[in-house]
Structure 1
Amino acid sequence: MRKNEPTGVEALPQALISVPGTPDDCRGRLVERDRLEWRCGDGGDPAALAQEFLTGHGVAVADLGRPARHDPDGVCGAALYLSAAAGALLAGGAPAAATPVPALPDLVVVVYTHTDRHRPPEAHQAATPAAGLGTLAGPATAARRPDPAQRWWLGRWRESWTPGQHADAVEAVRAAIGRGDVYQVNLVGHAAAPYAGDPLPALARLGALPGARYGGTLSGLDWAIGCASPETLVEVDGGRLVTRPIKGTRPATAAGRRELLASAKERAEHVMIVDLERNDLARVARTGSVRVDELFAVRRWCDLWQAESTVSAAAADGLGLAELLRAVCPGGSVTGAPKLAALDRIAALEPVGRGASMGAFGWVGSGRIDLGLTIRTAAADADRLHVWAGGGITWGSDPAAEVAEAAAKAAPVRALLAAG
């Protein structure tokens, strides 16, 4: 386990924090105080480590149902990132293929404190928009900073599987459904491209995509992630738990919207995941408090319509962050049902690990949590950018259509990363 401890708050760069869920009033005066980085190979329980680390810094996460006060002069809260691999570990799922981004930790917790030196808006615009930006290191250097004068270049994307292999995996899931092994499995593909220049502005641009409720960035030595996710994994405020699963996609046209609303296949897939999310919340909720507030609402993300539901519940007495993460990770909409059986299929069929995608990313403060699911997410290591995309497979899935849907989800992310 790595724990990076800065020598002092005053020595840290005064960069604009762009982590999703950061309190708006605090963004201009936050600096990193401490961080925890952990990888699955380090051993231990990442959920417990995160709670212990945050509690040690005075962030009240041991009882999420208890009112807590935001300290405007002390510790504000923390960025939290948890990978899909760490989530599968928490759930007891089968180990998946190796990550294509080994520099990226599986758990990152970055604690921020307030400083009196508030930065004006024009300084925010000039600042690099994440903690630790500009510290990506190359293989031969300990801390290579990208040359801002070097022109941005992004090379050709190389897929982790061909369209034919993707279609074969869809058929393998359909066969497993036919045997009764699973009801639904989410399959995810990966692609990587070499780059030159500074990847951090490109990753930061993802947060401006329409519908990116969890748009933001986070980085460390040799790695960075950029997120444009519209999906809430879990939100906690005033003791109320909320999750907003997204399942069902069509082109953002009038005909696409009508088709999505009329699709029995998409609705059945969606309701199955809503039931799974209801069960996940029930594990950490007061008895009888789980409810579906909204079902199959069609909303837009970039050039796509997507179906979203809202499920909520009252937090059980004494619910802590660790127990909450164990209940909701990995997210049901990116695994399938039953969750453990779906994780077994994922481990068997996906050729590379999910890296930065399909995990959790957002903000944790005293009495308040807002974590997005890292769909529509990209990562950078020292020399490549990485993206992931996929979709839920049911008995009614058409392999060619599933391959096309994954490409449609990845297209806006790839286009923005390539922009100069």
Structure 2
Amino acid sequence: MVHGRTAVDHFPTPPHRPNPGAPASCQGRHRALCDFAWFRGDSGDPAELVTEFLSANGLPVRDLRRTGRQVRPFGPGGICGAALYVSPDAGSVMAGGPVGAPTPVPRIPDVYAVVFAHDDAGGPGAGVPVERSGGTPLSVGPWRDSWTPAAHAAAVDRARDAIARGDVYQVNVVGHASAPYTGDPGPALGRVAALAGARYGGVLAGPGWAMATASPETLVEVRGGRVITRPIKGTRPATAAGRRELLASAKERAEHVMIVDLERNDLARLPGIGPVRVDELFAVRHWSGLWQAESVVSAPLTGPLDLASLLRAVCPGGSVTGAPKLAALAEIARLEPVGRGVSMGALGWVGTDRVDLGLTIRTVAADGERLHLWAGGGITWDSDPAAEVAEAAAKAAPLRAALARGSG
């Protein structure tokens, strides 16, 4: 059985920055019990290994119909749940697809889980332990991009060529940027997690690294006997004109519907699932100065379903890969010069009552030496390369601003 390691003191809880997806009522009450890590290149099936780890530590992940039932308390306090992170590389392995370029944050595991118990007296939780330098104010150096705007536009053209050949219908193209830093990144990561519209705003950290997400997108949720995904695809500035333009864009709607169909297929191939339905289509939501189009797709749980099967079906998320998913992963591996690191993966909560994983868009990482962020967008035949470059910059801008605020 996989029990993981005993959690140690590199898990201080940051004030008001819970694990993404964790119950709000449990803020400040978590005590880390043990953790699990799997890296790209490790042996074994990461979906099965993390499921075994969570099951061995008291969470009902072998049959997700059991979520919501009473679970045996773990240790002196009742078990609350676990933070769970899955990188896009691990998701590709789970899906049986190719992995891309090497990650720029190799010290961060590709699958990471921390089991927590309740501790009303307070105690160590998951936090921001990244070489705080005694609380020294953060200073961020110049950003270095993985490609120039011209190279990004050329990658969009190559993606359009693949669509013209019939290799894919749509493919996401994502760029990376990093900057050196000194001092304590904790407050800056907290600002990222607090960005407006962050449904999964929070921080997860391990020895010498941390990630913060302001993601508005649900990769997958299991709650109340249903499996739910909320794909986001389509972006415009958060102005009245931007909203009208998004709603009127045939290109954005076609791209969005294509991903909704992919997500429907992902859910439909799960065991123990009833009819898949689209509960809401192309609803316009707000995220930190941008309008984005979101749909809601769900299906009832009608039979046994384990976490490993769920992860294999939905990872990596279709809205950040493209369609068909495996062909899109092959194009991503060919086009992107730097790995996606902690972005475009999954981060959230596995509890006794639910599973709730956000897609790690709008996510940054600190590895003790550099800050890292990623941004991109979905490419179709109708995509304009210059517009795609501008859209990625618009998505990255709030993250860069949050990290820079207060920097010396």
Query: For residues 109 and 118 of structure 1, what CA distance do their matches in structure 2 show?
Result: 20
Matched residues, number: 400
**Given the alignment, which residue of 298, 310, 320 partners 2:306?**
320
1:147 aligns with 2:134: yes
**Given the alignment, which residue of 249, 252, 258 partners 2:244?**
258
**Given the alignment, which residue of 399, 414, 417 partners 2:385?**
399
Query: For residues 273 and 219 of structure 2, what CA distance do their matches in structure 1 show?
Result: 21
The 5 Å alignment of 1:240-389 reads: 240-284=226-270, 286=272, 288-389=274-375
**Given the alignment, which residue of 181, 196, 215 partners 1:229?**
215
Query: For residues 32 and 258 of structure 1, what CA distance do their matches in structure 2 show?
Result: 47
Equivalence for 2:70: 69
**Given the alignment, which residue of 193, 197, 203 partners 2:183?**
197
**Given the alignment, which residue of 154, 172, 177 partners 1:186?**
172
**Given the alignment, which residue of 117, 127, 137 partners 1:113?**
117
Query: For residues 155 and 11 of structure 2, what CA distance do their matches in structure 1 show?
Result: 47
CA offset at residue 27 of structure 1?
A: 1.9
Q: Secondary structure at the match of 2:28?
A: helix
Q: Secondary structure at the match of 1:42?
A: coil
Q: Secondary structure at the match of 2:296?
A: strand
CA offset at residue 2 of structure 1?
A: 11
Query: For residues 134 and 386 of structure 2, what CA distance do their matches in structure 1 show?
Result: 42
Equivalence for 1:60: 60
Q: Which runs of 5+ in 1 are unaligned?
A: 120-127, 137-143
1:102 aligns with 2:106: yes
Letter in 1 for 2:70: R
Equivalence for 1:162: 148
Q: Note if contact 1:70-1:76 (Cα within 8 Å) is conserved in structure 2.
A: no
CA offset at residue 93 of structure 1?
A: 1.1
Equivalence for 1:125: none
Deviates more, 1:237-246 or 1:11-20: 11-20
Q: Note if contact 1:285-1:313 (Cα within 8 Å) is conserved in structure 2.
A: no
1:253–1:365 distance in 2 versus 1, CA, 3 Å: same
Q: Secondary structure at the match of 2:65?
A: coil
1:338–1:272 distance in 2 versus 1, CA, 3 Å: same
Equivalence for 1:89: 93
Q: Which runs of 5+ in 2 are unaligned?
A: none
Q: Note if contact 1:15-1:31 (Cα within 8 Å) is conserved in structure 2.
A: no
Q: Under a length normalisation based on structure 2, what TM-score does the superposition of the two structures give?
A: 0.94
CA offset at residue 316 of structure 1?
A: 4.3
Query: For residues 106 and 31 of structure 1, what CA distance do their matches in structure 2 show?
Result: 23
Percentage identity across paired residues of the two chains: 64
Query: For residues 88 and 341 of structure 1, what CA distance do their matches in structure 2 show?
Result: 11
Give deviations 1:53-74, integer Å, cap 9, x for gaps: 1111111111012352266742
Q: Under a length normalisation based on structure 1, what TM-score does the superposition of the two structures give?
A: 0.91
Letter in 2 for 1:60: P
Q: RMSD value over aligned CA atoms?
A: 2.0
1:191–1:277 distance in 2 versus 1, CA, 3 Å: same
CA offset at residue 238 of structure 1?
A: 2.2
1:35 aligns with 2:35: yes
